[in-house]
Amino acid sequence: MHTRTPWLIGLVACLLALGSTGAQVAPVERYLAEAEKRLAAKDYRHAANLYRVVLRQRPGHDRAYRRLWQIDKAIGVADDPAQRDRLAREIPNGQFLKQTDHYLIVYDGRHTWADSRARMLELAYDEFYRQFKQAGFRPLPVERRMVCVLFNKHETYLDYAKQTDRLMHEWSSGYYSQRTNRVAFFNIHYSPQLKGMVDKMRKLEAEVEHWQAEVAQNPRMQHRLNAARSKLSHQRAYYQRAAAFGNIQQTLHEAAHQIAFNSGIQRRGVQWPLWYSEGLATAFETIAPAAPFGPTADNAFRRTKMDEAVRAGRAIPLAEFIEMTAAPNEDALKREAAYAQSWGLFHYLFNQRREQLVAYTAAMNASPLGRAAPGVLRQRFVEAFGPIEQVERDYLTYISAMSR
């Protein structure tokens, strides 16, 4: 037996009642009038749902958009006990549930680590909305708290990805799933990519133990012990920085994906090109979140990788790149170049052709759900930004100038 929350039952009743009124009033105007009455009565939830109905029919409706943000400012994200209880029932033993202003977080590691991820998620939320609003986009408030699943160990994360989303990308440190509308990632402290650092630490620890034993027999070997301890200290600090920075960057990247699809910047079910989805997410990567980051800021790591790909002849021609919908998983260098180019193209368009990017985003959101027909992604790009050859010259020149 399926259960329905009271606000949903009320909304259905409203829509049925509105549908039975006279046909002389346009449906959008009927929904808007009813929403205004609900808002005046401080029935915020029903009002918000009706404003969303208006925006689904007329995405550019200014009053409905402003009213939604008025409601969000008054009461924040809807508290949905049914969502929270459903998620709690799915959690096996050994996992915990944490709630923040905009997230429900499931985790199996230390509470302090989950707390730090929660702060990064909320920071990503704030910065995302600030920059996209200022840029002329019209992101909607999220309807309900977004779900994030955190795993301490890489192996547990992989099992979840395979079972839940049938993903086999062992190179991936996290992902957003349109199907489940969740993000999932793991603690990079346990990443296979950091295994070499861990192995080196173990060797240095063994070296320290060796010289401790030697010093016990011969105190004149103290300088050797001091040198070994110094190397170990530096290696531990290097590892800690790599893991800490990786966790921050990973969290912000996946959060940007999820917020984009829950704010209406990207519509779920539409096939988006790789450059837009990954360009947007890489735009929010940083290892220093106290400094400016996001689409208006530089991403030195991705920019450097893009420069390297261009110089090495590994850059993907734009005519081909704008139609790609997935990263090339079989080749790490090609994958790295694709992500770097995604950042470069999105950064250029966001900062130099912003109105065109807003128009392109609206056109993509109006696309039919499902896989795009051949040539559609290319057509959408040319309609918004003009000749591909000109865009390619302009964006490569722009990114190259940033590196001088």
Task: Kindly report, residue by residue over 77-133, the tens digit of the pLDDT.
Answer: 988 888 888 888 888 777 899 999 999 999 998 899 899 999 999 999 999 999 999
Q: Does the pLDDT of residue 203 top 90, yes or no?
A: no
Q: Tell me what pLDDT residue 193 has.
A: 66
- Characterize the bridge pairing of strands 182-186 and 146-151: parallel
Residue with the larger pLDDT of the pair 22 and 83: 83
- Tokens representing 114 are 């989950």
Q: Tell me what pLDDT residue 215 has.
A: 85
- Check: CB of residue 347 under 8 Å from CB of residue 279: yes
User: What CA–CA distance (Å, rounded) separates 299 from 283?
Assistant: 7
Residue 96 bridge partners (DSSP): 107
Q: Which residues of 311-339 are buried (b: 16+ CB within 10 A; e: fewer)?
A: eeebbbebeebbbbeebeeeeeeebbbbb
Q: Which residues neighbour 387 within 8 Å (Cβ) at sequence distance 6 or greater?
A: none
Mean model confidence pLDDT for the chain: 87
Q: Does the pLDDT of residue 50 top 90, yes or no?
A: yes
What is the band of 167 on the pLDDT scale with cuts at 50, 70, 90? confident
User: Is the C-alpha dihedral spanning 350, 354, 360, 362 positive or negative?
Assistant: positive
- Characterize the bridge pairing of strands 182-186 and 174-177: antiparallel
Q: Does the pLDDT of residue 175 top 60, yes or no?
A: yes
Q: Tell me what pLDDT residue 197 has.
A: 62
Q: Tell me what pLDDT residue 14 has.
A: 52
**Alpha-helical segments (H) within 263-331:** 274-283, 300-311, 318-321
What is the per-residue pLDDT across 55-66, written as a single tens digit (0 to 9) for each?
Answer: 999 988 999 999
Q: What is the mean pLDDT of residues 70-76?
A: 93
Q: Tell me what pLDDT residue 195 has.
A: 66
User: Is the C-alpha dihedral spanning 355, 360, 363, 365 positive or negative?
Assistant: negative
User: What CA–CA distance (Å, rounded) separates 281 from 267?
Assistant: 15
Q: Tell me what pLDDT residue 233 has.
A: 77
User: What CA–CA distance (Å, rounded) separates 55 from 87?
Assistant: 29
What is the per-residue pLDDT across 240-296, written as a single tens digit (0 to 9) for each?
Answer: 655 556 778 899 999 999 999 999 999 999 999 999 999 999 999 998 889 999 999
pTM of this prediction?
Answer: 0.84
- Check: CB of residue 188 under 8 Å from CB of residue 243: yes
Q: Tell me what pLDDT residue 11 has.
A: 47
User: What CA–CA distance (Å, rounded) separates 103 from 122?
Assistant: 8
User: What CA–CA distance (Å, rounded) separates 403 from 304?
Assistant: 8
Q: Tell me what pLDDT residue 170 has.
A: 67
The residue among 287, 215, 217 whose CA lies nearest residue 246 is 287
What is the band of 192 on the pLDDT scale with cuts at 50, 70, 90? low
Q: Tell me what pLDDT residue 6 has.
A: 43
Residue in the structure block whose two tokens are 């990519």: 193
Instruction: Give the class (CATH, top level) of 6-76.
Output: mainly alpha
Q: Does the pLDDT of residue 199 top 90, yes or no?
A: no
Amino acid of residue 367: S
Q: Where are the domains of the chain?
A: 6-76, 78-259, 266-404
Say how many CA atoms lie within 13 Å of 37 toward its Cβ.
8
